[in-house]
Amino acid sequence: MINLTFLVKSDRMNETVSSPVINKTGYSHVAIAFHWIMAILIVVNWTLAIVIDDMPLGPDRITGYSWHKWLGITVLFLVSLRLMWRATHPAPKLEIAMPLWQERAMQLTHIALYFLMFAVPLMGWMMSSAEGYTVNYFGLFELPNLVDKNKELGDQLGDLHGFLAYALSGFVGIHVLAALKHQFIDKDNLLGRMSFSSRLKKD
């Protein structure tokens, strides 16, 4: 089981701060790159999944499924690396005015995002294995089948894959709305922590 306790570690000194303080620390270049590359891949792959559903059976749909699997496996690989990076490189200190409940909600959202970014592509890989389709990663090499061929199990994993994908999209939406609120309503520059231009700390 993946230990995500390091994701909720907080350097907060007080439960609330009386006035906003502009954040003076940011994530490392590596963490920022992980964040934005994965964000783009997830949005592209979600869009691709929607497009594939409306495509008729044929070569184009098969190609679409291949790309969907390739991008999903790439996300799985990147989130694994990102978790290892995060375990050894803690998040920068939070220095903005935020009630404790909001900070806890932010931490729980981050945990959910990490879990879902790992679980969604993993369920997709398992579904392909159960349906008898070996994943050939970008035509370079074949990935091992995680489970034996089983049509009933494949259907169940497909349903779970879809459910978790919708859950991921929901948490991504919450994450984006919260970031926009802090940036444009609270004006505390929280978004600057994940910006190359605003980053002050060096890797």
Q: Which of helix, strand or coil describes residue 79?
A: helix
Q: Which of 17, 13, 20, 4 is nearest to 192 (CA)?
A: 20
Tell which wins on pLDDT, 95 or 72.
72
Position 8 confidence tier, pLDDT thresholds 50, 70, 90:
low
- Rounded mean pLDDT, 82-100: 86
DSSP 136: E
Quick one: pLDDT band at residue 96, thresholds 50, 70, 90? Answer: confident
> Phi-psi bin for 132: left (phi > 0), alpha (psi -120 to 50), beta?
left
The predicted pLDDT at position 20 comes to: 37
Mean pLDDT of the chain, nearest integer: 86
Lowest-pLDDT range of 65-74, 90-99, 118-127: 90-99
Surface-to-core class of residue 116, CB atoms within 10 Å of its CB (0-12 exposed, 13-18 middle, 19+ buried): buried
CB 35 within 8 A of CB 27: yes
- List own/partner pairs for 99-105 with CB under 8 A and 24 or more apart: 99/15, 99/16, 100/12, 100/15, 100/16, 103/10, 103/12
pLDDT digits 0-9 by tens, 169-178 = 999 999 999 9
Q: Please provide the CATH number assigned to the domain covering 21-194.
A: 1.20.950
Please tell me the predicted confidence (pLDDT) of residue 12: 44
| pLDDT at 148 exceeding the cut of 50 | yes
- In 3D space, the residue among 160, 129, 163 whose CA is nearest the CA of residue 146 turns out to be 129
- Which tens digits make up the pLDDT trace of 191-202? 888 888 755 444
Higher per-residue confidence, 89 vs 6: 89
